Chain A
């Protein structure tokens, strides 16, 4: 089986992109397709994750859904791919279903495991906001799979991929980008393996220093609960939960968050959850692996200190 993986490669190659390429290479011979300005050496490094070839379109600078759909369809034709893998981030959500519709291919959204091909082609997916899984059978010969971040560990083969320029006719862009508001430096929340999050229990935005200190020690991303984003203590993109970002990190540390069902919907895919709350009855403790009944103002600095000592001992 021949596989095409679409990745975004602006500057550096993201962890989500390496995961998607690794996922593809477990299914079959994998070609990656991308656009933008990443240099040839970074693109060749996708070979380390199992890609044999990387097609790069240099005529496209903005990720535009209609043009990307044409790019992916042309690349699939070029390498004879039956299976297309896309990382399910914001761009993947815009493009992957469109690609599937254009090829009349069955589309799997929210894949968290490799396909089971023992009897057909069945992929396990996240549904009901992480409260259940569905096994989705793809009934078409062409297939599109949207892979959730943190579902597979990027593999390292030590190989390099062949990089080839690929500039098919993509028509015009329907959408014009007027302004980009970036979140600045730091780990991107949806693909972070470690996340430190806090809620109203922190009493004010001026107290977020201790959350950031712990995140820095761990190399973690920071997140927050909905009320905190709504009152503007923290930026909107940090809000995890039903209406915010859904994340699946290895470790989620929540301080001063009670754990409403809407918040859990965004984090219950986390491998390990640590909850810090003064209220021993907080519902979040039911979803936690480790709980600390105590004041975040005392616990966070102590945890940070213990982490620093641990990190120092590791080096």
Chain B
């Protein structure tokens, strides 16, 4: 079984979010980067479980610069076989998807796995775009994945519930909570990761279909108004007359 897992870095959940250069750039000052949790905990770990059970390889792919290498080494330490980095700043989602799709096309994988979204841009775009470029089915928001022969069975989130679906390989999926449990890399994995292959390949040129022109922050919340536990009628009045939400 030959699996490709898309790995992206993301600021740690507790990072302070602020912007610089006239609110046009994310301020990386003091920000600790981690492997995007959906890519790591769910997509990568499930891919490793499957190849451990059935044999095969797990390659990771990242579109980024040398600044991404520590996150890629972390994925290798958790257990990926080898890694590919497409050497370019991740521009818009279409650019990133194009790089991944071109690599996947040239190396034909049974399953391409992505996290359901990154925790910084929350775009949830890459998996779906890659699937279109590969002309393969896309199973979004998968919480379970089992493989038997050439057929995969998945459970995924749909409006108003969940559904169990079957799909023939090859296909693309996005992984959500439930797919696997987080793995902490051990010392042996960390040592092995130093010598595993991290292949840096050049990027394909594509036009930038979208670009972020500026950022802004939500208006500061006003102070919390405390209401006595015995004055629920007052709360209802505030919700009706002041907040106007009921």
Contact B215 A101 (CB under 8 A): no
Residues of the B chain whose Cβ atoms lie less than 8 Å from the Cβ of A27: none
Residues of the B chain whose Cβ atoms lie less than 8 Å from the Cβ of A268: 218
* Candidates B126, B140, B236; contact of A90 at CB < 8 Å: B140
Decide: A110 near B122, CB < 8 A? Known: A302-B232, A306-B236.
yes
Contact B159 A261 (CB under 8 A): no
Decide: A294 near B209, CB < 8 A? Known: A127-B121, A132-B218, A174-B136.
no
Residues of the B chain whose Cβ atoms lie less than 8 Å from the Cβ of A181: 161-164
Contact B137 A175 (CB under 8 A): yes
* Candidates B129, B138, B157, B210; contact of A237 at CB < 8 Å: B157
* Candidates A176, A295, A307; contact of B236 at CB < 8 Å: A307
Shortest CB-to-CB span from B118 to chain A, Å, is 10
Shortest CB-to-CB span from B37 to chain A, Å, is 7
The 0/1 profile, CB within 8 Å of A marked 1, for residues 92-105 of chain B is 11100100000000
B148 at the interface (CB under 8 A from A): no
* Candidates A126, A175, A180, A243; contact of B122 at CB < 8 Å: A126
Decide: A292 near B226, CB < 8 A? Known: A100-B94, A138-B209, A194-B245.
yes
Decide: A176 near B167, CB < 8 A? Known: A133-B215, A194-B246.
yes
Binds A, one of B13-21, B47-55, B191-199: B13-21
Shortest CB-to-CB span from A282 to chain B, Å, is 11
Decide: A177 near B165, CB < 8 A? Known: A289-B225, A293-B226.
yes
Contact A89 B124 (CB under 8 A): no
Residues of the B chain whose Cβ atoms lie less than 8 Å from the Cβ of A8: 159
Contact A101 B133 (CB under 8 A): yes
Shortest CB-to-CB span from B119 to chain A, Å, is 6
Contact A98 B225 (CB under 8 A): no
The 0/1 profile, CB within 8 Å of B marked 1, for residues 174-196 of chain A is 11111111110000101001100
* Candidates A64, A106, A250, A275; contact of B245 at CB < 8 Å: A250
Give the size category of A's interface with B: 35 or more
B184 at the interface (CB under 8 A from A): no
B150 at the interface (CB under 8 A from A): no
Contact B132 A176 (CB under 8 A): no
Instruction: List A residues 247-270 near B (Cβ within 8 Å).
Output: 250-251, 261-262, 265, 268
Contact A107 B213 (CB under 8 A): no
Contact A290 B128 (CB under 8 A): no
A309 at the interface (CB under 8 A from B): yes
Residues of the A chain whose Cβ atoms lie less than 8 Å from the Cβ of B129: 97-98, 100-101, 107
Q: Considering the chains assembled together, what is the distance between the CA atoms of A302 and B230 in angstroms?
A: 8
Contact B128 A98 (CB under 8 A): yes
A279 at the interface (CB under 8 A from B): no
In the complex formed, the residue of A with least CB distance to B226 is: A291
Most A C-beta atoms less than 10 A away, residue of B121, B156, B158: B158
Shortest CB-to-CB span from A76 to chain B, Å, is 15
Contact A178 B164 (CB under 8 A): yes
A39 at the interface (CB under 8 A from B): no
Most B C-beta atoms less than 10 A away, residue of A90, A127, A131, A133: A90
Residues of the B chain whose Cβ atoms lie less than 8 Å from the Cβ of A305: 232
Shortest CB-to-CB span from A112 to chain B, Å, is 11
Residues of the A chain whose Cβ atoms lie less than 8 Å from the Cβ of B123: 97, 109-110
Give 6 nearest A-B pairs by CB, closest first.
Answer: A174-B137, A294-B229, A97-B128, A106-B209, A94-B140, A306-B232
Most A C-beta atoms less than 10 A away, residue of B93, B127, B222: B93
B30 at the interface (CB under 8 A from A): no
Contact A237 B162 (CB under 8 A): yes
Shortest CB-to-CB span from A281 to chain B, Å, is 12
Residues of the B chain whose Cβ atoms lie less than 8 Å from the Cβ of A74: none
Decide: A91 near B208, CB < 8 A? Known: A98-B129, A102-B132, A290-B227.
no
Contact A182 B160 (CB under 8 A): yes
Residues of the A chain whose Cβ atoms lie less than 8 Å from the Cβ of B166: 175-176, 178
A105 at the interface (CB under 8 A from B): yes
Contact B224 A290 (CB under 8 A): yes
Q: Considering the chains assembled together, what is the distance between the CA atoms of A152 and B141 in angstroms?
A: 25
Q: Considering the chains assembled together, what is the distance between the CA atoms of A274 and B246 in angstroms?
A: 13
In the complex formed, the residue of B with least CB distance to A284 is: B224
Shortest CB-to-CB span from A279 to chain B, Å, is 13
Q: Considering the chains assembled together, what is the distance between the CA atoms of A184 and B94 in angstroms?
A: 37
